């Protein structure tokens, strides 16, 4: 019988140079601090010797734009490529030094997909979509030079309205937990992105965060109070710049009612950075 | 306003280096035949990423097109 042996969530632009350009020395210090905690989380994850790592993250209009935008998509196949962007700027530049190819856990991905369709989740699938910094920045920060286990990338449409609801993302997480429980594998799961940044996806508002909203989310996660999170609306998430919390909702569904420990929370004017780990029984 | 037209154009500018080079060299020629409203076309001709974002261009695209990105 399989088990979720590790669960963590974290910010996903993990690049000191990027934040030094955006926020000065405090940007570098802050991201280095959160990266140090994520690296420690990675050591704890590696110690579990898991068979696979599920990564729940979002596409930044790189993989799916604009022929189709899946609400929830499971990456299947045997390997995944990192996104390649010529003359990369901003958050895309984070990828430049990273390995280009990563193994996938084909059987677990297929199980999540096939059993998901049977369970009523109209999941999209992809054999080809590449993964961007939302997946690879946390994965590489967690592992450093250690081997990365086979991945199961799962995309949540966090940005292109209409997005899936918080409640639906949580239900999908419950589905993932059911699949893992019936499987022979020990599995880690991470959700990436956030916390608050880029409210209303509006360029003039880049540089604003919503610390009050972040602390409310953190309070509920620390206390294992997941019911209020199910009521979060797309409008609330958009106004607070919490679009990527939908990824976290999938993880919460997978581990509920586990309580979270905050490993790092740091305010920065461009984004509030966080690294959170769940206490699993 | 067409969210699709704006964003598919932004996506091409990001992902197609040759189209991007043509746009930088001669924006009006590059946009010929592209289905845009007049305010949208004017914003692209002015390379005004704030305006493009206000008209429906997704933030992550207007922030990441090589050589044209708003920061």
* Interface confidence (ipTM) of the complex: 0.92
Are β-strands A3-10 and A124-126 bridged in parallel, bridged antiparallel, or unpaired?
Answer: unpaired
- Asked whether the beta carbons of A41 and A225 are under 8 A apart, the reply is no
Chain B residue with minimum CA distance to A84: B15
**Residue A193 backbone zone (phi > 0: left; psi -120 to 50: alpha; other: beta):** left
Q: What is the pLDDT of residues A135-149, one digit of tens each?
A: 999 999 999 999 999
| pTM reported for the whole predicted model | 0.96
CB-based contact B64 A60, cutoff 8 Å: yes
A87 touches B: beta carbon within 8 Å? yes
d(C-alpha A243, C-alpha A265), whole Å: 18
| pLDDT band per the 50, 70, 90 thresholds, residue A62 | very high
**If DSSP codes are grouped into helix, strand and coil, which group holds residue A178?**
helix
Chain B interface includes A64 (CB < 8 A): no
Considering chain A, what percentage of its residues have pLDDT values greater than 70? 100
Kind and range of the H or E element at A142?
Answer: helix A133-143
The arithmetic mean of pLDDT across residues B16-43, rounded, is 96
Residue A206 at interface with chain B, using a CB cutoff of 8 Å: yes
CB pairs under 8 A between A and B: 64
**Does residue A83 have a pLDDT over 80?**
yes
Tokens of A116: 């998901």
């Amino acid at each position: 019988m399989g088990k979720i042996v590790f669960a963590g969530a974290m910010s996903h632009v993990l690049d000191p140079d990027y934040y030094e350009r955006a926020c000065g020395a405090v940007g570098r210090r802050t991201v280095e601090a959160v990266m140090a905690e994520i690296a420690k989380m990675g050591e704890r994850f590696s110690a579990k010797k898991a068979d696979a790592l599920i990564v729940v993250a979002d596409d930044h209009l790189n993989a799916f734009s604009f022929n189709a935008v899946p609400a929830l998509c499971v990456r299947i196949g045997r390997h995944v490529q990192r996104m390649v962007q010529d003359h990369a700027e901003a958050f895309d530049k984070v990828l430049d030094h990273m390995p280009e190819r990563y193994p996938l856990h084909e059987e677990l991905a297929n199980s999540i997909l096939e059993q998901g369709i049977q369970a009523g989740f109209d999941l999209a699938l992809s054999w080809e979509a590449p993964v961007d910094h939302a997946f690879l920045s946390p994965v590489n920060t967690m592992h450093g030079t250690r081997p990365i286990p086979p991945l199961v990338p799962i995309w949540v449409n966090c940005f292109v309205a209409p997005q899936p609801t918080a409640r639906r993302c949580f239900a999908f997480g419950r589905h993932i937990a059911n699949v893992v429980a019936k499987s022979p594998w020990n599995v880690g799961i991470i959700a990436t992105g956030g916390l608050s940044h880029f409210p209303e996806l509006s360029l003039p508002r880049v540089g604003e965060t919503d610390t009050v909203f972040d602390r409310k989310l953190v309070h509920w996660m620390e206390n294992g109070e997941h019911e209020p999170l199910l009521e979060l609306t797309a409008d609330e998430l958009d106004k607070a710049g919490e679009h990527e919390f939908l990824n976290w909702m999938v993880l919460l569904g997978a581990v509920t009612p586990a309580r979270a420990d905050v490993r790092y929370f740091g305010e920065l004017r461009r984004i509030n950075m966080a690294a959170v780990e769940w206490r699993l029984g | 306003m067409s969210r699709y037209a704006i964003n598919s154009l932004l996506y091409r500018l990001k992902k197609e280096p040759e189209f991007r080079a043509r746009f930088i060299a001669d924006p009006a020629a590059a946009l010929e035949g592209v289905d845009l409203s007049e305010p949208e076309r004017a914003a692209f001709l002015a390379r005004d990423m704030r305006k493009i974002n206000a008209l429906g261009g997704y933030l992550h695209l207007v922030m990441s097109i090589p050589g044209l990105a708003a920061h």
